[in-house]
Amino acid sequence: MNADAFRHFYDYHFAENRSIWDNYVTQLSQEQFTQEMNYSHGSVRAQIVHLMSVDEVWFSELQGVEPSEPFPSASLDDRDDIRAHWDSVEQGMRAYLAQLRDDMLFDKPIEEPEEDKALVVWQVLLHVVNHGTDHRAQLLRLLNDLGLETVSQDYIFYVYDNP
List, for residues 75-131, the tens digit of each pLDDT value. 456 888 889 889 999 999 999 999 999 999 999 999 888 999 999 999 999 999 999
Give pLDDT, residue 14. 98
DSSP letter at 150 equals: -
Confidence of residue 72 (pLDDT cuts 50, 70, 90): low
Give pLDDT, residue 75. 45
CATH code of the domain in which 139 resides: 1.20.120.450
Distance of CA 49 to the CA centre of its chain: 9
Number of DSSP helices (H) and strands (E) in the chain, helices first: 6, 0
Find out whether the peptide bond into 109 is cis, omega within 30 degrees of 0. Answer: no
Amino acid at 106: F
- Is pLDDT above 50 for 70? yes
Domain residues for the domain of 70 are 3-161
- pTM of the full structure: 0.91
- Crossing angle of the two packed helices 44-63 and 3-23, in degrees rounded to 10: 160
Cα distance between residue 103 and residue 120, in whole Å: 11
Give pLDDT, residue 25. 94
Give pLDDT, residue 77. 66
Could you give the number of structural domains in the chain? Answer: 1
- Coil vs helix vs strand at 82: helix
